[in-house]
Amino acid sequence: MKVRFWGTRGSIPVSITAKDVRAKIGAALRVARDRAATGEFPGNDVEIERFIDDLGFSVSGTYGGHSSCVEIETGNEDAANEHLLCDMGSGVRAYGQRMMERYGPTRPQTYHVFMSHVHWDHIMGFPFFTPVYIPGNRIVIHGCHAELEFAFKRQQAAPSFPVDFSLLASNIEFDVIAPGETRSVAGITVRNLKQHHSGDSYGWRFERAGKSVVYSTDSEHRLENAEETQLFVDFFHNADLVIFDAMYSLADAVSVKADWGHSSNIFGVELCQMAGARRLCMFHHEPAYDDSRIDSVLAETRRFEEITREASALEVLSAWDGLEIVL
């Protein structure tokens, strides 16, 4: 299995600004100046690439700004024309472009989309997902909300959008799944768990060939509630990867932003440690955070994991648009 991130921000898409770009260039030039003073300035292409890598991700790259969209490659050759996605935030536009480049308009594909919930930042990319306009494609939108179909159709109704849902040329299906129900889709076992969020949200666990991925975003956790905590520990149990809503700091999550429906990096570590998960990927980043702030959160979280570790190490990552994780 392979997981690829197309959108990792929460609540609203954001874009890197001219000020941000200038700050990155300035940071890189200051490092180059200091190295040049000691005769270490990069001279050839290989040295330049090494220099860029040494700058650190927050300077040499970006976590990106698209809202939630995650692809799961199943590795199942018997279902090669079936694709799995979690949520359809703005990141799904780039994913659709990738699929059109790969398959074009004459090779029909099936897209299985598992929705955490239908708040706007998680469905806003759907009208820009090119495969929905291609005859022969099949789009199956799975979710646990009774208003699943209504939400997707409403956002394309006049006067909000110029192309009505009825004009989409692909075969679009809505599959409302009961909370807690287990399904087999494209050779993968899929089950869900209801989460604490305004209007409810659902986490999804995907399993195949001994590997497991948990997608758990837009979920608020109260670790003092032992019964609720155990439900998530069981859901995360021995997962190879947990994609986790770590939008807030612990202080915000338990004070000014309590009951806002999101979680923190600290809760993510504690739940994954209790569950024996192997890898935690923080997700649904706060849109107000720039790259350096997300980098700081990652460093703080890794340190917290290290000092609280009692058994095997938990690998901690921060998701970025374009990140690929092979399980």
Q: What is the pLDDT of residues 173-222, one digit of tens each?
A: 999 999 999 999 999 999 999 998 889 999 999 999 999 999 999 998 87
Cα–Cα dist 122/153, whole Å: 14
pLDDT band at 262 (very low <50, low <70, confident <90, very high): confident
Shared domain check, 140 and 22: no
Whether 253 has a pLDDT exceeding 70, the answer reads no
Shared domain check, 54 and 123: no
Shared domain check, 215 and 107: yes
**SS3 at position 10:** coil
The answer to whether the CB of 152 falls within 8 A of the CB of 122 is: no
Cα–Cα dist 81/103, whole Å: 10
Shared domain check, 91 and 54: no
Q: CA separation (Å) from 234 to 32, 250, 283, 293?
A: 49, 23, 20, 32
pLDDT band at 291 (very low <50, low <70, confident <90, very high): very high
Q: Which pairing describes strands 201-208 and 188-195: parallel, antiparallel, or unpaired? A: antiparallel
Q: Is the pTM of this model over 0.85?
A: yes
- Domain range spanning residue 40? 18-60
Structure tokens at 263: 């979680």
Shared domain check, 28 and 74: no
Interval 35-91: pLDDT, tens: 888 877 777 889 889 899 999 999 999 999 999 999 999 888 888 899 999 999 999
Cα–Cα dist 33/26, whole Å: 10
Q: What is the mean pLDDT of the chain?
A: 93
Cα–Cα dist 154/149, whole Å: 9
pLDDT at 91: 98
Whether 257 has a pLDDT exceeding 70, the answer reads no
Whether 256 has a pLDDT exceeding 90, the answer reads no
Shared domain check, 321 and 289: yes
Domain count of the fold of the chain: 2
Shared domain check, 169 and 83: yes
CA 42 to chain centre: 35
Region 244-248: what's the mean pLDDT? 89
Q: In what order do the strands lie in the sheet with 315-318?
A: 182-185, 188-195, 201-208, 211-216, 241-245, 279-283, 315-318
Region 296-323: what's the mean pLDDT? 95
The answer to whether the CB of 59 falls within 8 A of the CB of 28 is: yes
**SS3 at position 269:** helix
Shared domain check, 240 and 98: yes
The number of residues in the chain equals 327
120 contact partners, CB below 8 Å, separation of at least 6: 155
The answer to whether the CB of 143 falls within 8 A of the CB of 115 is: yes
Cis before residue 159, ω within 30 degrees of 0?
yes
Closest CA to 184 of 68, 69, 74, 324: 74
The CATH number of residue 70's host domain is 3.60.15.10
Shared domain check, 158 and 131: yes
The neighbour count for residue 231, using CB atoms within 10 Å, is 14
pLDDT at 260: 54
The answer to whether the CB of 281 falls within 8 A of the CB of 243 is: yes
Shared domain check, 186 and 280: yes
Shared domain check, 40 and 143: no
Structure tokens at 259: 């009951």
Shared domain check, 295 and 244: yes
Whether 149 has a pLDDT exceeding 70, the answer reads yes
pLDDT at 250: 60
pLDDT at 259: 63
Helical residues (DSSP H) of 1-91, grouped into ranges = 18-37, 45-54, 57-60
